[in-house]
């Protein structure tokens, strides 16, 4: 407007820029979300990779560039169209069973002790380490069980939450929460 002599109204309409992230996966797994994903300018979007049983993430490609295997990828501050492609391959790791399926910790809650049932095997003390922690993370005691069923006495400890960390030399670590009442 030039030489404005009376009131004028201006109306404008704005919309945020949007971009497309093209998410694809090879056979033997999937990516979540999958397909053409529309995202707002400056937003973040997380993609999770889900291999089929017996397969693992072999590689992830972002805009055609390899970034190696990983369980997920986060696009941060998106300002242009992007592509993500995940490649799955046969798992090369030995099958490891989760400890939680093999170990029982009972009774829970308890008044005075907990028993831990480990899978029966030779040389238990060489395979397992059991650690008792207080609620604040302080280590109370460490055990090397020599039998598949053993007991941890909690009589001298106050009521509250405790954590039992069980580590197996091959199958990793599992943490159990126990409540003393």
> Where in the chain is CATH 2.10.70?
18-90
Tell me the pLDDT tens digit for each residue of 106-160: 999 999 999 999 887 766 767 889 999 988 778 899 999 988 899 999 999 999 9
Tell me if the domain spanning 99-180 has CATH number 2.60.40.1930.
Answer: yes
Tell me the pLDDT tens digit for each residue of 48-85: 999 998 888 889 999 999 888 888 899 999 999 999 99
pLDDT band for 98, please (50, 70, 90 cuts): low
Q: Are 23 and 47 in contact (CB under 8 A)?
A: yes
In the chain, where does DSSP find H-type helix? Answer: 124-127
Second-level CATH architecture of 18-90: Ribbon (2.10)
pLDDT band for 18, please (50, 70, 90 cuts): very high
Distance of CA 109 to the CA centre of its chain: 27
What pLDDT is attached to residue 127? Answer: 81
Q: Are 82 and 19 in contact (CB under 8 A)?
A: yes
pLDDT band for 93, please (50, 70, 90 cuts): low
Checking if the pLDDT of 86 tops 80, the result is yes
> Where in the chain is CATH 2.60.40.1930?
99-180
Distance of CA 173 to the CA centre of its chain: 14
Angstrom distances, CA of residue 90 to CA of 28, 30, 59, 69: 9, 14, 12, 13
What pLDDT is attached to residue 95? Answer: 47
Residue 21 class from Cβ within 10 Å (0-12 exposed, 13-18 middle, 19+ buried)?
Answer: buried
Ramachandran assignment for 95, one of left (phi > 0), alpha (psi -120 to 50 degrees), beta (any other): beta
């Amino acid at each position: 407007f030039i030489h404005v002599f009376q009131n004028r109204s201006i109306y404008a309409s704005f919309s945020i820029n949007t971009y497309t992230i093209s998410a694809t996966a090879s056979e033997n797994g999937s990516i979540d979300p999958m397909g053409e994903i529309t995202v707002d300018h400056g937003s973040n979007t997380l993609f999770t990779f889900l291999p089929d049983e017996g397969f693992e993430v072999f590689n992830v490609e972002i805009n055609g560039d390899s970034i190696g295997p990983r369980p997920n990828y986060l696009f941060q501050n998106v300002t242009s169209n992007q592509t993500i492609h995940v490649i799955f391959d046969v798992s090369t790791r030995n099958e490891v069973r989760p400890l939680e399926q093999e170990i029982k910790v009972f009774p829970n809650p308890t008044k005075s002790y907990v028993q831990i049932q480990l899978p029966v095997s030779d040389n238990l003390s060489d395979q397992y380490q059991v650690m008792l922690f207080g609620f604040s993370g302080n280590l109370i005691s460490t055990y090397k069980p020599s039998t598949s069923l053993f007991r941890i006495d909690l009589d001298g400890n106050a009521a509250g939450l405790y954590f039992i960390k069980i580590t197996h030399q091959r199958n990793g670590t599992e943490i159990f929460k126990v409540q003393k009442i």
